[in-house]
Structure 1
Amino acid sequence: MSTAVAICSLAPLVSSSLADFALQKVLEDATPIFGSYTRDTAEKAEWMKSYSDDTLLVHMNIPGTHDSATWNYTQATQDAMRGITDLNQVTVPVPETYRCQELPLIDMLNMGIRAFDLRYAIDPTNTTLIFYHSYALLSELATVDDVLFGFYQWLDDHPSETIFLSFQHESSTARYTANDATQQLQLYNILTSPAARHYFVQTKNELGKLGDARGKINLMRRFDLDKLPDSYTAALPGLHFSPSLWTDNGPDITLVYNTSKNLTAYIEDYYQPLTPMRSDAIENIQWKYNATVKNIEKATTEQLDSLFWTWASGTNTANNPPDWPRIIALGNGTKYTPDGGVNQQLVPFLRGQKGKRVGIVMFDFFDQPTELIDIFLSL
């Protein structure tokens, strides 16, 4: 065999190896947000297998996580980021203010979570899109593009599943994060790249059937491309929830995401209970629980072909002492919150919704109590 023929016969192998190495590099870079990639074929990693292809996505019960990327935002992370965040010239409060999860995205996927709340902005060097929660820089290494490749790989390994990704520009990140045309163009390029076109469901302003969405991502666009020509927005798939129409701290939001078909989303995002000053944790938890349950009950009884999106997450840092996201979700572990937080109180409520549609529900610290997601998936 000639050297030329030998090289040609090796070319596909070399190309495949390089592609594998490149993917591994991207997944390694994504680790601070996505977590270390592991393949899991347990029942909860493929729970959508039990649903028929004809199932409408708006009829499904989808467990999700609020501020999904914050799981790794510890004091150690904050300290490690300080050299970068100092460029933003802001003082970042304690990590408990921002941390809403404790397990990485890969674990969330393998444990049944299918909807993710991702907050992006330009990094402090004004170079690339990364993840934030308010002032908190979650990682300088893991870019939006890197993390998407983690989702792509997971979908290749779990082709029966579909994922909902909510992207929102995090506007409170200070100096370099103005949502200008440069930043919007970066996001547009990421979401219209060849890989994204393959993995994102390309329908627009409508959720279809599970069979058409298996192995793909449903984009929930909680951002505008208002600094770019209209043609850029027209080219994006998914459902558009303009920030200008999403009522801040709204317990009862109604958004029409398809005007021609009058397709409507009913949303609860009452993230900071407006309790009286110096209210206690029990009161804040109760107000948040009441708003959460009210929207879920509407999902079980009304507008069966509409989208219901409920956020079980909350905080009240204006209190003294503050009620961090963990306290609203799980209680403070003392006699002052004997019934736990919203998550614990949702367990008996959800048990009573067997056989009903509850829609998309976003949790903080979704893994506690341990039966929460099991009960949700058994509805």
Structure 2
Amino acid sequence: MALYGTFEKKCWLKFIDGKLPINQISLPGTHDSATGTYSEGIGEGGMVKTQDDSVYEQLNSGIRFIDARCRHISNSFAMHHGIIYLNKMFGDILNECKRFLQENPSEFILMSVKREHTEEQCTRSFQETFEKEYYDSYWWFGEDRFPLLEEVRGKIVLFSRFGGPHGIQTSWKDNATFDIDERIHVQDEYNQTDEVKKWHAIENAWSFAAYRGNTEWMTINFTSIAAGFWGTRSIRDYAEDKNPELATHIMSRGECCGVVVSDFHNIAMLSNGVIMTNFRNMLNPARGLFLAFLLIS
């Protein structure tokens, strides 16, 4: 027996129990989220772009983890990918997020904010600029913990990579798999030249997420790699090659996979696979009942 339903990707969290803490929800995310509208440089941003669409479009496609990399310049935050300015400011990204949350109050956004490149012409700290210019009522003001979904609907939850007293606190290691305070497991081996080792790192993080799926842990799993570490292949080439494998693997496992942060999330509908793992309990072979949802734009 099969029951079929549809729901829109832009509001898929509406169907998730509000009593679940956010670390127990599989969340699709984008790496260097602000690059989607960048079109300059070699091959129209070929060495810079990691996404094809704007942050607003990503959110409407079901993405719930945004990776914001900010250069502190003139007491403001400019969006960067390494040394490259992406022709957007952090305020532009936040406006896209606020618009989305206004239209979809059942949703929340987990936003990683990272200090990028060098500071220039600043008279205050990164944290002070964040608090003065950007930290408004759209942010969740709770303590350093994983809130329940019902607490943060309509809000942005800060995943802080710059320190300070706000949001979920982290201390990051470069190009590594590591644990933070025995509650956050991170796989971010972006500078991995061995394709097999990178795949194993991703798969091991998924196994960790499945094993710890109903505990106090959160898993952050970056499937992305840095440009130039695969010979002549670009970031897009890697995504076109690997995203279909990743999507198939996620669906075949059918388990909690944590936060999956990818390049070109729309290739092979990788983000759809992540979302669908949240509805794995709707499969009940003992009753011969399968509830299938079709994700629609």
TM over 0.5, yes or no? Answer: yes
Q: Give 1:315 deviation, angstroms.
A: 2.5
Residue of structure 1 aligned with 2:148, choices 209, 224, 233: 209
Q: What do residues 158-192 of structure 1 show as CA deviations (whole Å, max 9, x unaligned)?
A: 11001100000003x5xx54987344421221343
Partner residue, 2:286: none
1:115 aligns with one of 62, 65, 70: 65
- Per-residue deviation at 1:128? 2.7
Q: What TM-score do you get using the length of structure 2 for normalisation?
A: 0.84
Q: State the distance in 2 between where 1:168 and 1:364 align.
A: 17
- The separation in 1 between residues aligned to 2:29 and 2:258, in whole angstroms, is 10
Q: Contact between 1:167 and 1:222, CA under 8 Å: does it hold in 2?
A: yes
Render the CA deviation track for 1:80-111: whole Å, top value 9, x for unaligned: xxxxxxxxxxxx99832221111111111111
Corresponding position of 1:347: 247
Q: Secondary structure at the match of 1:181?
A: coil
Pairs aligned (count): 271
Contact (CA 8 Å) 1:169, 1:179: kept in 2 or not?
Answer: no
Summarize deviations over 1:215-253 as a string: whole Å, max 9, x none: 1111000113xxxxxxxx33x2x11113xxx11000x21
**CA distance in structure 2 between the partners assigned to 1:121 and 1:108 by the alignment:** 22
Q: CA deviation at 1:210?
A: 0.6
Change (3 A) 1:328 1:149: same
2:221 counterpart of 1:310: yes
Deviation at 1:324, TM superposition (A): 2.6
Q: Establish whether residue 265 from structure 1 lines up as the match of residue 184 from structure 2.
A: yes
SS at 2:268 equivalent: coil
RMSD (CA atoms): 2.4
The residue matched to 1:369 in structure 2 has which SS? helix
What is the DSSP-based 3-state SS (H/G/I as helix, E as strand, rest coil) of the residue aligned with 2:80?
Answer: strand
How far the C-alpha of 1:129 sits from its partner, in A, is 1.5
Q: Give the equivalent residue in structure 2 for 1:69.
A: 34
Question: CA 1:146/1:375 → structure 2, altered by over 3 Å: closer, same or farther?
Answer: closer
Q: Tell me, yes or no, if the aligned pair for 1:114 and 1:163 is still in contact at 8 Å.
A: yes
SS at match of 1:291: helix
CA distance in 2, matches of 1:364, 1:57: 22
Q: Is the 8 A contact 1:266 1:309 kept in 2?
A: yes
- Paired letter, 2:189: Y
Match of 1:103 in 2: 53
Pair 1:189 & 2:132 matched: yes
Distance 1:326 1:51, change over 3 A: same
Taking structure 1 as reference, are residues 320 and 311 closer, same or farther at Cα in structure 2, changes over 3 Å only? closer
Shift of 1:353: 2.3
CA deviations 1:244-271 (Å, max 9, x no partner) are xx11000x21001xxxxxx510000000
Question: Is 1:150 the equivalent of 2:49?
Answer: no
Q: Aligned letter for 1:378?
A: M
Find the counterpart in structure 2 of residue 161 from structure 1: 107
In the alignment, what sits opposite 2:284?
Answer: none
**Judging changes above 3 Å, is the alpha-carbon distance between structure 1 residues 60 and 121 closer, same or farther for their aligned structure 2 residues?**
same
In structure 1, distance between residues paired with 2:141 and 2:207: 31
Match of 2:174 in 1: 248
- Specify the alignment match of 1:133 in structure 2: 81
Q: Deviations over 1:322-356 (max 9, x none)?
A: x33222222xxxxxxxxx22x111122111222x2
The answer to whether residue 184 in structure 2 is matched with residue 288 in structure 1 is no
Q: TM-score, normalised by structure 1?
A: 0.66
Whether the 8 Å contact between 2:29 and 2:271 is mirrored in structure 1 is: no
What SS class does the counterpart of residue 237 from structure 2 fall into? helix
**Identity value in percent:** 23
User: Could you say what secondary structure the match of 2:189 adopts?
Assistant: coil
Shift of 1:357: 1.5
Q: Gaps spanning 5+ residues in structure 1: where?
A: 1-41, 79-91, 225-232, 257-262, 276-283, 331-339
Q: Any conservation in 2 of the 1:169–1:222 contact (CA below 8 Å)?
A: yes
1:49 aligns with 2:6: no
2:24 aligned residue: 59
1:376 to 269, 274, 279: 274
Judged with a 3 Å threshold, the aligned counterparts in structure 2 of structure 1 residues 344 and 326 are, in CA distance, closer, same or farther, namely same
Moved runs in structure 1, 4+ residues, more than 6 A? none
Q: CA deviation at 1:204?
A: 1.8
Partners of 1:51 and 1:318 in 2: CA distance: 38
